[in-house]
Chain A
Amino acid sequence: MISYVLPEFLVMRDENRCIQCQVCVRQCANDVHYLDEKDGKVKADDAKCVNCQRCVTFCPTHALTIIPNPQEFKANANWTKKAITEVQKQAESGAVILTSMGNPQEYPIYWDKIVLNASQVTNPSIDPLREPMELKTYLGRKPDKLEFDEKGRLITKLTPQLVLNVPIMFSAMSFGSISLNACESLARAATELGIYYNTGEGGLHSSLYRYGKNTIAQVASGRFGVHANYLNAGAALEIKIGQGAKPGIGGHLPGEKVGAEVSATRMIPEGSDAISPAPHHDIYSIEDLRQLIYALKEATNYTKPVSVKIAAVHNVAAIASGIARAGADIIAIDGFRGGTGAAPLRIRDNVGIPIEMAIAAVDTRLKEEGIRHQVSVVAAGSIRNSADIIKAIALGADAVYIATSALIAIGCHMCQKCNTGKCNWGIATQDPQLVKRLNPNIGARRLVNLVTAWEHEIKEMLGGMGINSIESLRGNREMLRGVGLTQKELDILGIKAAGE
């Protein structure tokens, strides 16, 4: 059967620059480039290219450009190239279309419709280079009130907190979905930055236990790699209920990715598929969730905060209220643009709601119910830069989780082919030849650079607003205005329109 699917990209090689060095041949794990022995020229099989730009970056003469295939269908606003191609693919495969990373569709990006305030004349702005600026963030349940004895000593028993130097954490990515070198880059950067990274649902590789102080250990529906040492290895625990990229469905790590190390870490046989069920089979109600939260607290002797991660869906505010009442110390909410190592395309592109709406709705609801202090709220799902972070915090988040931007920092070029296991950048792969492409010394350095740069920018924006502490920005929606939003959208976000 001939394939009707056209090559997605074309590989353009500038013959005036190409020196036939074959660096591209050696770097492309998709076998696109090859040396034609007959004329000694390097050529390409465009159809296999995924536009990961490994060859483009490595070509020493900058001879390569990857372009979208310009071949078009007859113009049709309804039957777009994408719509037609997807039908063709499924007619050939008879299968669900698998993809990865976050929802790329043209839904509104509310971050880009929200603008920040700055001080002018009546209130002074602050220069972060001259004056102290506090970004330290504590995540966890805060007491209802503080009590002191007659000598002024605190007698209220405080619950365990996560202490972050900047309100940024690396979101859950499992060993298995990403390489050990990627995990190590995240762990080392989190340690150096005084923040946390999240193990994801794949357990903790034995070589990473030493970064425990900066680790959040995740417990998901498959319970992979969960044992007493694992639960006690990190600074906090996270129960994963859902994920923004694929709310309502579980996970599937194909057996090819379950090599010796992944198998030992996940405690499953080598080569077996690791399937996480869609629900936790012991959680069918808020009461069940409460049982698991307290089972984990018991297991760790009430020394670690417990987070519950959910995907942002329609009734997110009510769900979050239930989670807070179930005893969670932290609620992580993952918006519909959150990434994944593998998800069915229809789910990724059509399920869930924007994180901006979810954060605002949850913060509003928890405040109305007088329980906002009982739980910290972490926003996840496509935080692209420091301005998104400022806006998330002003909408009501305590901190943010970043994952896609962290992966971009260490080389990801967003080709959305994580599910193939052939990541040319050594991130979403278990192939030893590819894994070594990510040197964790470089990975950690690039992550530290990114977060440090964002820290500077956050301080600058805070100073501009005349605020000297991130605490004073939290839920401070007065600092935000909407541009080009309907009244309903403004109401949900809880912000005024620009000019008001």
Chain B
Amino acid sequence: MKRVYALEEYCVGCRLCEINCIVAHSQSKDIIWAFKVEEPRPLPGILVEEARPISFGLQCRHCDDAVCIKSCITGAMHRDERDTVVCDTDKCVGCWTCIMACPYGAIKANENDGKVVSKCDLCPDLSQPACVSHCPNEALIYVDRG
């Protein structure tokens, strides 16, 4: 399947990927509304790891053998019809088992309500994940590497 890969040598640590992930998962899809008005503001599915000069955008690897799905106690974390690993927030009870299980640290607790978890869903409504299309230095690519 197509996944997002980080090209660490070109990541400039601007975090525009995080910001545009938030916008893409907001209600208005408008950056100023999303940040200044909307409550709660979504969490970014991508996180920039940084120890300058090294930085890269990290998000869910949508593993073939996803331990988060295996560990989820309610079946909230599941693989959808696009093969994407997503969390059904209606089912999620916020036990955070998946957070501990994910070897990449790609799942975050949604501190907005303390209950459900938040992670990358590969932007199902967009032709390209928002982080990829908004990365100014082409440090994220969306390709099928098998």
Give residues in A with beta carbon < 8 Å to B: 16-17, 19-23, 26-27, 58, 60-61, 431-433, 436-437, 439, 441-442
Contact between A26 and B13 (Cβ–Cβ < 8 Å)? Answer: yes
Chain A, Cβ-Cβ closest to B13: A26
Contact between B12 and A436 (Cβ–Cβ < 8 Å)? Answer: yes
- Chain B residues with CB under 8 A of A433: 13, 52-53
Kindly provide the distance from the CB of A412 to the nearest chain B CB, expressed in whole angstroms.
16
- Chain B residues with CB under 8 A of A20: 35
Known contacts: A436-B9, A436-B53, A439-B10. The answer to whether A58 contacts B136 by CB under 8 A is yes
In whole angstroms, how far apart are the Cα atoms of A385 and B100 in the complex? 58
Determine whether B69 belongs to the interface, using a CB cutoff of 8 Å to chain A.
Answer: no
Contact between A60 and B139 (Cβ–Cβ < 8 Å)? Answer: no
Chain B, Cβ-Cβ closest to A20: B35
Contact between B52 and A61 (Cβ–Cβ < 8 Å)? Answer: no
Kindly provide the distance from the CB of B125 to the nearest chain A CB, expressed in whole angstroms.
20
Interface residues of B in 7-58 (CB under 8 A from A): 9-16, 19-20, 31-32, 35-36, 52-53
Contact between A17 and B32 (Cβ–Cβ < 8 Å)? Answer: yes
For this complex, 18 residue pairs linking A to B, each with C-beta atoms less than 8 Å apart, are: A17-B32, A19-B19, A19-B32, A20-B35, A21-B15, A21-B35, A23-B14, A23-B15, A23-B19, A26-B13, A58-B16, A60-B31, A61-B32, A433-B13, A436-B10, A436-B12, A436-B137, A437-B12
Determine whether B138 belongs to the interface, using a CB cutoff of 8 Å to chain A.
Answer: yes
- Chain A residues with CB under 8 A of B20: 60
In-complex Cβ contact of A19 among B13, B36, B52 (8 A): B36
Contact between A27 and B31 (Cβ–Cβ < 8 Å)? Answer: no
Contact between A61 and B31 (Cβ–Cβ < 8 Å)? Answer: yes
In whole angstroms, how far apart are the Cα atoms of A60 and B53 in the complex? 22
Contact between B16 and A439 (Cβ–Cβ < 8 Å)? Answer: no
- Chain A residues with CB under 8 A of B35: 19-21
In whole angstroms, how far apart are the Cα atoms of A23 and B31 in the complex? 14
Chain A, Cβ-Cβ closest to B52: A433
Chain A, Cβ-Cβ closest to B36: A19
10 additional A-B residue pairs with CB within 8 Å, beyond A20-B35, A58-B16, A58-B136: A19-B19, A23-B15, A27-B14, A60-B19, A61-B31, A431-B53, A433-B13, A436-B9, A436-B137, A439-B139
Max chain A C-beta neighbours (<10 A), residue from B14, B31, B32, B36 = B14
- Chain B residues with CB under 8 A of A16: 32
Kindly provide the distance from the CB of A411 to the nearest chain B CB, expressed in whole angstroms.
10
- Chain B residues with CB under 8 A of A58: 14, 16, 136
Kindly provide the distance from the CB of A26 to the nearest chain B CB, expressed in whole angstroms.
6
Contact between A26 and B139 (Cβ–Cβ < 8 Å)? Answer: no
Chain A, Cβ-Cβ closest to B139: A439
Contact between B19 and A27 (Cβ–Cβ < 8 Å)? Answer: no
Max chain A C-beta neighbours (<10 A), residue from B12, B20, B53, B137 = B12
Kindly provide the distance from the CB of B47 to the nearest chain A CB, expressed in whole angstroms.
15
Kindly provide the distance from the CB of A283 to the nearest chain B CB, expressed in whole angstroms.
41
- Chain B residues with CB under 8 A of A27: 12, 14
In whole angstroms, how far apart are the Cα atoms of A19 and B30 in the complex? 12
